């Protein structure tokens, strides 16, 4: 169960680490947002007699029946509270390679989810709608962690995208069963990259499964290489976001690590085409010993991949070298620019009900936890706070009786994350920088003679083109 | 993709590309020209022009809206910078310059040509041989036709996902298990820069060959039986009959399927997009995948100018190639 110390850890992380580092990495639109005040214009509330149908993001495609049931129950409760609103959920997985097509093609639901890094550009492109007036209708509108809220704030000072869920730091996920089968102690996961290498080899040799796996597709290769770079003290963009710095020592060391595992130790299995969804699937199926991803991925592993909780373990990624840090990010809720006023008014009610109210209202937190537990859905997966420290601490106490995730198998993460420095994703042309790094990761994993220096030099050219283009 | 690219999969191309239509027969649709008649509206209506137009209108509207207008828009957009929301700005040749200096372009061209070559080597002869064999069997001809055509009926995305499962690179993958019985493998298939492209071509051939087989079978029915009888009287064996009778009679169809094969394979998109996303390490990055990536590949990408610029260049290349091909082969096919 979650100890007070762990609770404090999360609140500290949210307030200090995110605050310190995320604020330092403002987006390409500059740091003027803080100077602007949000508009005081009140948005129209929804007339209770007006019927509205609202399309919203549902679960990941392929989610279990139990997860679907829990969501259906939630929708029913929402519609009981708001009889004039009909909610239609749509399966959805955000992918860098399909999001733009969905957006341009109009196939996204009215309320959809985006990563922190995309909000500023979508606001500048007028592709998501100003929600400030509607946000003001919520009693906790002023209580958001300002450093998270600024990601969804436009040049005019108004909030367009609202921090909603999956506020994460990247962790090392490991399969406790494979650790045991390989003669390793699952309660003592690796604490350095060298130990990860040794353990990966032991797992591969003794179980025949991949000891360590790495994502490489649809931008996730670049995302995770950036994680590995930060963990070794490197950065992929200069502080002002104007220069690609992919040839730094941290990135080179991260790639050399992968090269050693793949070609010297042969401890990474045979599949090098993983993206976020498929690596989760393989991990839950027991084919992977260790991989890195957001700390909150356990929820998806249960909802979509039916993981056996007993096999799951979460620990810190090793941090080595000066200025090393853990990459952090999160998900925001946004509303389509094509939404009508009624849809916007209904959308804020859904965003409140589905994502946020539980963090600020005891009754809602308990009710939500009960709904999730009734359908055997995870309650209590570690996350970082969207609101204030005190609020998050309260929320933890409200849901404590319902927590059903194996927190005792995550203590080596939850007890240390507060000591770590959290670093934001690259601020400018984020997905392009990741896309430029994808082939580098793929080359190192699939070509024995891959020249890391040359690959990074070529990737820098591409990333710089994208950065120049975005500036 | 096999010669069945004669009937390219509709899903082989992103929605906003016009190239196929440039080289296709669409441009020849429409009412026949009136000749030797003094052109004025009254005589035009009297001679049935109006009813011709009314009959042709649905086709004109469909082609206009879904083919010609997107082509015009693509050409216009290739000279603009736009995100489809804010007003577009004219940028001259900047998009073309951006595309031509993209470090990935040579790789994409090389990969596309490699795919086309492999598809020719693997995909062109297989349907031809299958059709000749099937036309020579006496019994169960219908069954063979159904079996050959069945993969074409499978939705392309489903087929690719199915084959992705077969291509699992671990030792317990489907193909690796089968090859393991004869002590081969395991092979990394889609995770190997050298095997990825041939793997895509094999699936594409399987998926599309049936369509071409049917075309060849139809053409073979048109070969007069007397020619075979005469050849037999002259002492020709089966292969001599194929070479000296069947092949010359199929020449016209072969010329058409060949150029359509080239056009189809140069526009390959579905397989690399779904199988590998262009990887590993850009080993299957094709020109159409690049176009898609410019337009939609990044969550905030939307570089529609670069996407349409590359589309226009590809269309121009294919149009010129088609013209040259037909110019070169027109005399051969008449001989």
Q: What SS3 string covers chain A?
A: CCCHHHHHHHHHHHHHHHHHHHHHCCCCCCCCHHHCCCCCCCCCCCCCCCCEEEEEECCCCCCCHHHHHHHHHHHHHHHHHCCCEEEEEECCCCCHHHHHHHHHHCCCCCEEEEEHHHHHHHHHCCCECCCHHHHCCCCCHHHCCHHHHHHHECCCCCECCEEEEEEEEEEEEEEHHHHHHCCCCCCCCCCCHHHHHHHHHHHHHHHCCEEECCCCCCCHHHHHHHHHHHHCCCCCECCCCCCECCCCHHHHHHHHHHHHHHHHHCCCCCCCCCCHHHHHHHHHCCCEEEEEEECCHHHHHHHCCCCCHHHEEEEECCCCCCCCCEEEEEEEEEEECCCCHHHHHHHHHHHHHHHHHHHHCHHHHHHHHHHHHHCCCCCCCCCCCCCCHHHHHHHHHHHHHHCCCCHHHCHHHHCCHHHCCEEECCCCCHHHHHHHHHHHHHHHHHCCCCCHHHHHHHHHHHHHHHHHHHC
Structure tokens at B144: 């063979």
A21 and A105, same structural domain? yes
Q: Closest partner residue to A97 among B83, B188, B297, by Cβ?
A: B297
Provide mean pLDDT across the span B222-239. Answer: 86
What ipTM does the predicted assembly reach? 0.76
* B224: exposed, middle or buried (Cβ count in 10 Å: 0-12, 13-18, 19+): exposed
> Chain B residues with CB inside 8 Å of A287's CB?
170
Rounded distance between C-alpha atoms, residue A256 and residue A253, angstroms: 5
Mutating which of A112, A207, A439 best tests the B interface, going by the most B Cβ atoms within 10 A? A439
Task: Tell me whether residues B299 and A96 touch, CB distance under 8 A.
Answer: yes
Say whether pLDDT at A187 is over 70: yes
Which residue, among B54, B6, B59, has the nearest Cα to B29 in the 3D structure?
Answer: B59
> What's residue A2's pLDDT?
37
Percentage, residues of chain A above pLDDT 90: 63
Residue of A96, A101, A151, A431 to mutate, interface with B, max B Cβ within 10 Å = A101
> Which of A111-115, B249-253, B270-274 is the least confident region?
B249-253
Which 3 state secondary structure label does DSSP give B81?
strand
Best mean pLDDT range from A177-181, A238-242, B253-257 = A177-181
Query: Are A129 and A218 part of one and the same domain?
Result: no
Burial of B322 (0-12, 13-18, 19+ CB in 10 A): middle
Q: How confident is the model at residue A145 (pLDDT cuts 50, 70, 90)?
A: confident
pLDDT tier, B33 (very low <50, low <70, confident <90, very high otherwise): low
Q: Which of A183-192, A280-289, A461-470 has the lowest mean pLDDT?
A: A461-470
Q: Quick check: B213 pLDDT over 60?
A: yes
pLDDT at A34: 41
- What is the dihedral sign for C-alpha B47, B51, B54, B55? negative
Distance CA B21, CA B57 (A): 19
Average pLDDT over residues A309-326: 94
Segment B143-189, tens digit of pLDDT: 888 888 889 899 999 999 999 989 988 888 899 999 999 989 789 89
According to the model, what pLDDT value does residue B198 have? 94
Residue A272 lies in a domain: yes
In angstroms, what CA-CA distances link A121 with A96, A135, A151, A194, A347?
Answer: 14, 20, 10, 39, 21
How far, in whole angstroms, is CA B223 from its chain's centroid? Answer: 27
B302 and A122 within 8 Å at the Cβ level: the answer is no
CA distance B282 to B58: 43
Q: Evaluate whether residue A350 is within a structural domain.
A: yes
Q: Tokens 């670093």 belong to which residue?
A: A423
- Judged against a pLDDT cut of 80, whether residue B330 lies above it is answered with no
pTM for this model (two decimals): 0.80
Peptide bond into B102 cis (omega under 30): no
Whether A122 sits inside 8 A of B300 (CB atoms) is yes
- Which residue of chain A comes nearest to B98, CA vs CA? A465
Three-class SS of residue B164?
helix
Residue A423 domain-assigned (yes or no): no
Closest CA to B268 of B89, B76, B5: B5
Instruction: Report the pLDDT value the prediction gives residue B204, as an integer from 0 to 100.
Output: 92
Q: Alpha helices, DSSP H only, in B81-155?
A: 94-100, 105-118, 125-136, 141-153
Q: With an 8 Å Cβ cutoff, are A431 and B83 in contact?
A: no
pLDDT for residue B145? 84
DSSP 8-class letter at B62: H
Q: Summarize the confidence of residues B66-90 as an average pLDDT.
A: 88
Contact predicate B107/B282, CB 8 Å: yes
Q: Are residues A112 and A154 in the same domain?
A: yes
Residues A134, A111: one domain? yes
In the predicted model, is pLDDT for residue B7 greater than 60?
no
Of the candidates B197, B177, B221, the one whose C-alpha atom is nearest the C-alpha of residue B119 is: B197
Lowest-confidence pick of A162-166, A323-327, A428-432: A428-432
Q: Which chain A residues are closer than 8 Å to B168 by Cβ?
A: 271
Shared domain for A206 and A160, answered yes or no, is no
Residues B253, A243: Cα–Cα separation, whole Å: 56
Question: Which is more confident, B38 or A224?
Answer: A224
* Domain annotation covers residue A323: yes
- Check whether residue A154 and residue A211 sit in a common domain: no
Name the minimum distance, in Å, from the CA of A338 to any CA of chain B.
11
Whether A97 is covered by a domain: the verdict is: yes
Q: What is the mean pLDDT of residues B320-329?
A: 87
Q: Which residues contact A378 (CB under 8 A, 6 or more apart)?
A: A298, A299, A302, A303, A372, A404, A405
Total number of domains in chain A: 2
- For a pLDDT cut of 90, what percent of chain B falls above it? 39
Of B84, B277, B283, the CB nearest to A97: B277
A1-31: pLDDT as tens digits: 334 333 333 333 333 333 333 333 333 333 3
A10 and A147 part of one domain: yes
Mean pLDDT is lowest, of A225-229, B17-21, B192-196, for: B17-21
**B300/A435 Cβ within 8 A:** no
pLDDT at position A176 over 90 = yes
My answer on whether A209 and A357 are in the same domain is no
Q: Are residues A156 and A44 in the same domain?
A: yes
Q: Supply the DSSP symbol for B15.
A: T
Distance between CA atoms of A440 and A421, rounded to whole angstroms? 26
A111 and A148 in a single domain? The answer is yes
- Residue A210 sits in a domain whose CATH number is 3.40.190.10
What is the pLDDT at residue A158?
A: 94
**Mean pLDDT on A292-321:** 94
> How does residue B28 score in pLDDT terms, banded at 50, 70 and 90?
very low
What whole-number distance in Å separates Cα of residue A335 and Cα of residue B197? 40
> Which residues in B have their CB inside 8 Å of a CB on A?
15, 83-86, 102-104, 168-171, 186, 188, 190-193, 276-277, 279-283, 293, 295-303
pLDDT band, very low/low/confident/very high, at B78 (cuts 50, 70, 90): very high
Q: Which domain holds residue A27?
A: 4-167+329-418
Check whether residue A45 and residue A128 sit in a common domain: yes
The vertex-A44 CA angle with A42 and A45, nearest 5°, equals: 115
Residues of A whose CB is below 8 A from B169 = 270-272
- Candidates B281, B284, B292, partner chain A, best to mutate (most A CBs within 10 A): B281
Q: Please provide residue B80's backbone torsions phi and psi, each rounded to the nearest 5 degrees.
A: -125, 160
Using an 8 Å Cβ cutoff, are B79 and B91 in contact?
A: yes
Closest by CA to B70, choosing from B238, B311, B235, is B311
- Is-contact B175 A270, C-beta < 8 A? no
- Confidence bin at B8 (pLDDT 50/70/90): very low
| Domains, chain B, with CATH or none | 3-17+91-334 (1.10.3720.10)
Q: What is the predicted pLDDT for the residue at A105?
A: 79
Residue A313 belongs to a domain = yes
For residues A238 and A320, membership in a common domain is answered with yes
What pLDDT score was predicted for residue A66? Answer: 87
A299 vs B140, residue with greater confidence: A299
Is B299–A287 a contact, with Cβ atoms under 8 angstroms apart?
Answer: no
Q: How large is the average pLDDT for residues B49-64?
A: 90
Q: How sure is the predictor about B32, in pLDDT bands with cuts at 50, 70 and 90?
A: low
């Amino acid at each position: 169960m979650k100890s007070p110390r762990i609770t404090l850890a999360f609140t500290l992380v949210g307030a200090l680490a995110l605050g310190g580092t995320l604020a330092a990495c403002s987006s390409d639109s500059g740091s003027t947002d803080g100077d602007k005040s949000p508009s005081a214009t009140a948005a129209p509330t929804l007339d209770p007699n007006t019927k509205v149908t609202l399309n919203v993001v549902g679960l990941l495609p392929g989610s279990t029946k139990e997860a679907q049931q829990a969501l259906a129950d939630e929708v029913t409760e929402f519609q009981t509270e708001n009889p004039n609103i009909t909610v239609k959920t749509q399966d959805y997985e955000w992918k860098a390679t399909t999001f733009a097509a969905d957006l341009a093609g109009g196939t996204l639901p009215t309320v959809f989810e985006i990563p922190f890094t995309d909000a500023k550009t979508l606001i500048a492109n007028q592709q998501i709608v100003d929600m400030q007036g509607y946000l003001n209708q919520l009693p906790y509108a002023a209580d958001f962690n300002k450093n998270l809220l600024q990601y969804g704030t436009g040049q005019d000072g108004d909030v367009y995208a609202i921090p909603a869920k999956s506020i994460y730091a990247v962790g090392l996920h490991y399969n406790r069963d494979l650790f045991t089968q390989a003669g390793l102690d699952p309660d003592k996961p690796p604490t350095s990259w060298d130990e990860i290498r040794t353990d990966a080899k032991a797992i591969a040799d003794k179980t025949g499964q991949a000891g360590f796996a790495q994502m490489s597709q649809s931008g996730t290769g670049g995302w995770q290489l950036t994680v590995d770079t930060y963990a070794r003290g490197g950065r992929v963009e200069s502080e002002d976001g104007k220069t690609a710095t992919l040839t730094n020592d941290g990135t080179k060391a991260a790639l050399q690590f992968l090269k050693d595992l793949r070609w010297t130790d042969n401890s990474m299995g045979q599949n090098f085409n993983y993206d976020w969804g498929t690596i989760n699937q393989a991990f839950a199926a027991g084919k992977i010993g260790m991989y890195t991803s957001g700390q909150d991925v356990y929820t998806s592993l249960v909802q979509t991949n039916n993981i056996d909780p007993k096999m799951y373990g979460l620990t810190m990624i090793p941090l080595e070298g000066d200025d090393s840090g853990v990459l952090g990010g999160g998900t925001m809720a946004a509303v389509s620019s094509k939404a009508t006023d009624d849809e916007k008014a209904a959308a804020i009610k859904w965003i409140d009900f589905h994502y946020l109210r539980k963090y600020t209202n005891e009754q809602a937190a308990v009710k939500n936890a009960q709904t999730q537990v009734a359908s055997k859905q995870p309650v209590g997966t570690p996350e970082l706070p969207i609101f204030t420290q005190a609020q998050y601490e309260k929320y933890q106490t409200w849901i404590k009786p319902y927590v059903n995730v194996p927190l005792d198998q995550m203590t080596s993460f939850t007890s240390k994350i507060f000591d770590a420095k959290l670093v934001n994703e690259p601020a400018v042309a984020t997905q392009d920088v990741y896309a430029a790094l994808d082939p580098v990761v793929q080359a190192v994993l699939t070509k024995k003679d891959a020249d890391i220096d040359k690959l990074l030099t070529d990737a820098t050219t591409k990333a710089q083109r994208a950065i120049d283009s975005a500036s | 993709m096999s010669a069945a690219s004669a009937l390219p999969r509709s899903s082989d191309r992103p929605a906003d590309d016009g190239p196929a239509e440039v080289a296709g027969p669409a441009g020849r649709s429409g009412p026949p020209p009136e000749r030797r008649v003094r052109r004025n509206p009254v005589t035009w209506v009297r001679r049935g022009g109006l009813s011709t137009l009314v009959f042709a209108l649905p086709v004109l509207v469909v082609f206009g809206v879904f083919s010609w207008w997107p082509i015009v828009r693509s050409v216009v957009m290739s000279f603009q910078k736009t995100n489809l929301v804010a007003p577009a700005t004219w940028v001259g040749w900047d998009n073309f310059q951006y595309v031509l200096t993209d470090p990935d372009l040579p790789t994409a061209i090389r990969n596309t040509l490699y795919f086309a070559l492999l598809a020719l080597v693997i995909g062109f002869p297989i349907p031809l041989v299958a059709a000749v064999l099937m036309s020579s069997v006496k019994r169960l001809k219908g069954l063979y036709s159904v079996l050959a055509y069945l993969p074409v009926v499978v939705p392309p995305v489903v087929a690719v996902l199915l084959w992705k499962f077969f291509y699992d690179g671990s030792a317990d993958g489907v193909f690796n298990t089968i090859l393991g019985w004869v002590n081969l493998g395991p092979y990394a298939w889609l995770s190997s820069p050298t095997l990825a492209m041939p793997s895509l071509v094999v699936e594409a051939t399987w998926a599309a060959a049936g369509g071409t087989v049917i075309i060849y079978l139809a053409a073979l029915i048109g070969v007069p039986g007397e020619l075979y009888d005469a050849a037999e009287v002259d002492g020709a064996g089966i292969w001599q009959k194929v070479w000296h009778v069947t092949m010359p009679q199929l020449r016209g169809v072969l010329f058409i399927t060949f150029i359509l094969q080239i056009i189809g394979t140069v526009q390959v998109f579905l397989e690399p997009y779904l199988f590998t996303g262009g990887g590993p390490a850009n080993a299957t990055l094709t020109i159409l995948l690049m176009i898609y990536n410019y337009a939609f590949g990044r969550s905030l990408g939307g570089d529609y100018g670069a996407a349409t610029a590359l589309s226009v260049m590809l269309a121009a290349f294919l149009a010129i190639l088609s013209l040259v091909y037909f110019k070169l082969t027109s005399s051969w096919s008449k001989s």
